[in-house]
Every structure is written in C-alpha cells, then in structure tokens.
Amino acid sequence: AQKVTQTQTSISVMEKTTVTMDCVYETQDSSYFLFWYKQTASGEIVFLIRQDSYKKENATVGHYSLNFQKPKSSIGLIITATQIEDSAVYFCAMRERQSSNTDKVVFGTGTRLQVSP
Amino acid sequence: ETAVFQTPNYHVTQVGNEVSFNCKQTLGHDTMYWYKQDSKKLLKIMFSYNNKQLIVNETVPRRFSPQSSDKAHLNLRIKSVEPEDSAVYLCASSWDWGIEQYFGPGTRLTVL
C-alpha cells in the first residue's frame, strides 16, 4: 500500500539557518511523483516543489531544494537561509499513476517548522 | 492570488442536516479534488474528478457525494452530517492527474 511518513512532528530553528525535513515513502510503482506543500497559520496550502521519480537531479526552487535518495525511498526538503515567514506546517505527498490512468494521492502527517529571530 | 475559491468559509450545523460546499477554480485545470483535514492536520483525499472519471476514496462514507456542473466547479454535498464530519474541507485543482495541486482556502464545518 502507498504510504508517506514524516517522523519529525516539530522543528525549531533560528532565522537564516538551513533546515532539513525528512520524508520516506512506500510504493509498488516504478513511476511516481513526490511533492512538498506548505500550510501557513491561516490554513492556506501552497505547493512548493516537486520531484519526478525518473529524474536523478534534485529539484530546486528558490530557497527550497530536495534531497532525493531513491534507493532509500527518501525525499527530504531543505530550506536554506530560513526566514520568519517560513514558519508553517510542511507536508510531503506522493502521487502514483494507477493502471487505470488515474492517480492516487497520499499526504504525510506534516512537520511543523518554527523559525525564530 | 487566489484561483481556487470555496464557499462558505465556515458552516455550523446540527447532526442529521444536509450541507453543501462550493468550489470553483479559474485556472483552467481539468482535474479537481476534495480533501478532509481533521483537527490533527491529517489530510485525506476524498474524491478526484475530471471530465472523464470520478475516483472515490473507498473510506469515504456514502453520505458524501461530489457534484460537478463543469470542469471549473466541484461541489461537495453531505447528506446527513455526523459529529465526526467536523473538519476543514479543502478543494484543489490541477492539470491532469499527476501534477501539483492548487488549494482553496477551505471550509470549516462544525457539527453540533
């Protein structure tokens, strides 16, 4: 069965430092997509970054980057030069392409990041 | 800039009532979704829908049903609400099935 696990429930860091959030997944499929989303205190959920399973290069968008370790079924999110406004809950998600050409989406339980000045 | 709109923002009702939540997206996407987020922030997909197919999460009770008039709208109807339905319901959309999703602001449902 498809599964996404985020073991870190909460992380606290100082502003301008680098933080890594862990995520491991389970899948039977050879083709899948991995995503990270951010949910702010207002409840808004925003897409951050995506990794396609067939790509070897780690995705990077702005000060977000991924550490994709396929043999370990791991997709860590790295935020460099953290800012106060990065404080939020971060969700890892996976999408598999099903045989019926539809998708199945599973989200992790989230990691709360607190960035302090 | 909001492109996935949900109404209402909040809804309080009593057990057994019927409720309906609306979702509209202006992104031109062809796939829409409904999620339930509980008090522990757990996000669970309820429905995935495009003009070809409706995918229902098998754990969703039958009292929940999606309703779509066109690819820009996907409403959620709950026929007879129960206390465990209290949650935030989030609508999302995407291009095709396997691509990143854009979320609406959510509708918070409280069942008394």
Count of CB pairs separated by less than 8 Å, A with B: 51
pLDDT of residue B61: 93
Strand partners, A53: none
Question: Nearest chain A Cα to B55, which residue?
Answer: A102
Q: Of A33, A35, A89, which has the smallest distance from its Cβ to B41's Cβ?
A: A89
Per-residue pLDDT tens over the stretch A40-80 = 999 999 999 999 999 999 999 999 999 999 999 999 999 99
Q: What residues of A are in contact with residue B106 (Cβ under 8 Å)? A: 43
The one-digit pLDDT tens for each residue of chain B (112 residues) are 669 999 999 999 999 999 999 999 999 998 899 999 999 999 998 988 887 678 777 789 999 999 888 889 999 999 999 999 999 999 999 987 657 899 999 999 999 9
Q: Which residues of B touch A (CB under 8 A)?
A: 33, 40-45, 48, 53, 55, 88, 90, 92, 97-103, 105-106
- Euclidean distance between CA atoms B53 and B68, whole angstroms: 12
A63-66 long-range contacts, CB within 8 A, separation 24+:
A64/A36, A66/A34, A66/A36
Task: Supply the mean pLDDT for chain A.
Answer: 92
The CA R_g of chain A, rounded to the nearest whole Å, is 14
CA B22 to chain centre: 8
User: How many Å lie between the alpha carbon of B47 and the closest alpha carbon of chain A?
Assistant: 10
| C-beta neighbour count of B63 within 10 angstroms | 13
Q: Does A105 touch chain B (CB under 8 A)?
A: yes
Per-residue pLDDT tens over the stretch A14-51 = 999 999 999 999 988 888 899 999 999 999 999 999 99
- Euclidean distance between CA atoms B98 and A101, whole angstroms: 9
- Euclidean distance between CA atoms A65 and A3, whole angstroms: 22
Greater confidence (A99 vs A22) lies with A22
